[in-house]
Amino acid sequence: MIPVMAEQAPPFPESDPAKAILRRYFGFETFRGFQREVIDHVMQGGDAVVLMPTGGGKSLCYQIPAMLRRGVGIVVSPLIALMQDQVGALRQNGIRAAFINSSLNSGEVSQVINQARMGTLDLLYMAPERLLMESSLGLLSQMNIALFAIDEAHCVSQWGHDFRPDYLGLTALADQFPGIPRLALTATADAPTRSEIIHRLRLENSRLFIAGFDRPNIQYRVAIKDNPKKQLKTFLKNEHAGNAGIVYCLSRSKVEETAYWLVEQGFNALPYHAGLDNGIRRQNQERFLFESGIIIVATIAFGMGIDKPDVRFVAHLDLPKSLESYYQETGRAGRDGLPADAFLTYGLEDVVLLRKFIDGSKAEERIKQIEHRKLDSLIGYCESAECRRRILLTYFGDNPPPTCNNCDTCLTPVATWDGLVAAQKALSCVYRTGQRFGTAHLIDVLTGKMSEKITRFSHHSISTFGIGKELTTNQWRSVFRQLIASGYLEIDVEGHGGLRLCEASRPLLRGEKTIFFRMDADAPKPMAQKKEKKKERITDKKEPITDTASSPLTSRVYAQSGLWKALRSMCVELGKQQGVPPFFIFNDTTLREIVSAMPTTLEQLGQIHGVGTNKLKNYGQQVLQLISSFRS
Strand segments (E) across 84-230: 97-100, 123-126, 145-150, 182-186, 207-210, 218-224
Phi and psi angles of residue 221, each rounded to the nearest 5 degrees, phi first: -140, 145
Q: Measured between alpha carbons, how far is 588 from 610 in angstroms, rounded to an integer?
A: 10
Position among 5, 32, 139, 367 found at the interface with ligand ADP (CB under 6 A): 32
Position among 18, 21, 39, 60 found at the interface with ligand ADP (CB under 6 A): 60
Quote the least distance from Cβ 85 to ligand ADP, whole Å: 9
Q: Does 54 bind ligand ADP (CB under 6 A)?
A: yes
Position among 21, 47, 55, 422 found at the interface with ligand ADP (CB under 6 A): 55
Q: Which of 38-46, 57-65, 439-447, 620-628 is the region at the interface with ligand ADP (rule: CB under 6 A)?
A: 57-65
Q: Does 221 bind Zn ion (CB under 5 A)?
A: no
Partner whose footprint covers residue 319, from ligand ADP, Zn ion, none (CB < 5 to 8 Å by kind): none
Question: Which residues have C-beta within 8 Å of that of residue 219, sequence separation ≥ 6?
Answer: 339, 340, 341, 342, 406, 407, 408, 527, 530
Per-position x/- string for 171-210, each x denoting binding to ligand ADP as judged by CB under 6 A, each - no binding: ----------------------------------------
Using the minimum distance from each CB to ligand ADP, give the nearer residue, 58 or 273.
Answer: 58
Position among 404, 426, 442, 491 found at the interface with Zn ion (CB under 5 A): 404
Q: 164 with 78: CB under 8 angstroms?
A: yes
Quote the least distance from Cβ 536 to ligand ADP, whole Å: 21
Position among 21, 24, 25, 31 found at the interface with ligand ADP (CB under 6 A): 31
Question: Which residues have C-beta within 8 Å of that of residue 130, sequence separation ≥ 6?
Answer: 100, 101, 102, 136
Q: By C-alpha distance, which of 627, 223, 544 is closest to 408?
A: 223
Question: Which residues have C-beta within 8 Å of that of residue 154, sequence separation ≥ 6?
Answer: 160, 162, 186, 187, 188, 193, 197
Strand segments (E) across 350-508: 416-418, 489-491, 499-501
Partner whose footprint covers residue 393, from Zn ion, ligand ADP, none (CB < 5 to 8 Å by kind): none
Q: 24 with 612: CB under 8 angstroms?
A: yes
Total chain residues near ligand ADP (CB under 6 A): 14
Q: Does 580 bind Zn ion (CB under 5 A)?
A: no
Q: What b-and-e string marks burial along 378-411, b requiring 16 or more CB atoms within 10 Å of the CB?
A: bbbbbbbbbbbbbbbbbbbebebeeebebbbbbb
Q: Does 154 bind ligand ADP (CB under 6 A)?
A: no
Position among 154, 281, 332, 335 found at the interface with ligand ADP (CB under 6 A): 335
Report the helix count and the strand count for the chain, using DSSP H and E: 29, 17
Using the minimum distance from each CB to ligand ADP, give the nearer residue, 57 or 380.
Answer: 57
Q: Does 76 bind ligand ADP (CB under 6 A)?
A: no
Partner whose footprint covers residue 309, from ligand ADP, Zn ion, none (CB < 5 to 8 Å by kind): ligand ADP
Question: Which residues have C-beta within 8 Å of that of residue 610, sequence separation ≥ 6?
Answer: 26, 27, 28, 586, 587, 589, 590, 593
Partner whose footprint covers residue 58, from ligand ADP, Zn ion, none (CB < 5 to 8 Å by kind): ligand ADP
Q: Measured between alpha carbons, how far is 3 from 548 in angstroms, rounded to an integer?
A: 51
Q: By C-alpha distance, which of 135, 163, 153, 157 is closest to 77?
A: 153
Using the minimum distance from each CB to ligand ADP, give the nearer residue, 113 or 580.
Answer: 580
Torsion angle of C-alpha atoms 488, 491, 494, 496, degrees rounded to 10: 140
Q: Which of 49-57, 229-237, 486-494, 517-525 is the region at the interface with ligand ADP (rule: CB under 6 A)?
A: 49-57
Q: Does 407 bind Zn ion (CB under 5 A)?
A: yes
Using the minimum distance from each CB to ligand ADP, give the nearer residue, 33 or 438.
Answer: 33
Q: Does 78 bind ligand ADP (CB under 6 A)?
A: no
Quote the least distance from Cβ 587 to ligand ADP, whole Å: 6
Partner whose footprint covers residue 219, from Zn ion, ligand ADP, none (CB < 5 to 8 Å by kind): none
Q: What angle do CA 612, 618, 619 make, to 5 degrees?
A: 85
The 3-state DSSP class for residue 279 equals helix
Quote the least distance from Cβ 594 to ligand ADP, whole Å: 15
Q: Does 56 bind ligand ADP (CB under 6 A)?
A: yes
Neighbours of 217 (CB within 10 A): 17
Partner whose footprint covers residue 410, from ligand ADP, Zn ion, none (CB < 5 to 8 Å by kind): Zn ion
Task: Tell whether the torsion through CA atoms of 529, 534, 535 and 536 is positive or negative.
Answer: positive
Using the minimum distance from each CB to ligand ADP, give the nearer residue, 55 or 575.
Answer: 55
Using the minimum distance from each CB to ligand ADP, give the nearer residue, 215 or 240.
Answer: 215
Q: 162 with 136: CB under 8 angstroms?
A: no
Q: Does 52 bind ligand ADP (CB under 6 A)?
A: yes
DSSP of 478-495, one letter per residue? HHHHHHHHTTSEEE-TTT
Instruction: Report the relative pairing of strands 123-126 and 97-100 from DSSP bridges.
Output: parallel
Quote the least distance from Cβ 64 to ligand ADP, whole Å: 10
Quote the least distance from Cβ 525 to Zn ion, whole Å: 15
Q: Does 252 bind ligand ADP (CB under 6 A)?
A: no
Position among 132, 147, 382, 410 found at the interface with Zn ion (CB under 5 A): 410
Instruction: Report the relative pairing of strands 145-150 and 182-186 from DSSP bridges.
Output: parallel
Q: Measured between alpha carbons, how far is 509 from 511 in angstroms, rounded to an integer?
A: 5
Quote the least distance from Cβ 57 to ligand ADP, whole Å: 3
Q: Does 39 bind ligand ADP (CB under 6 A)?
A: no
Q: Does 518 bind Zn ion (CB under 5 A)?
A: no
Using the minimum distance from each CB to ligand ADP, give the nearer residue, 152 or 408.
Answer: 152
Q: Measured between alpha carbons, how far is 293 from 268 in angstroms, rounded to an integer?
A: 7
Q: Give residues 378-397 in contact with Zn ion (rule: CB under 5 A).
A: 387, 389
- In eight-state DSSP terms, residue 102 is T
Q: Which residues form the interface with ligand ADP (CB under 6 A)?
A: 28, 31-32, 35, 52, 54-60, 309, 335
Q: Which residues form the interface with Zn ion (CB under 5 A)?
A: 387, 389, 404, 407, 410
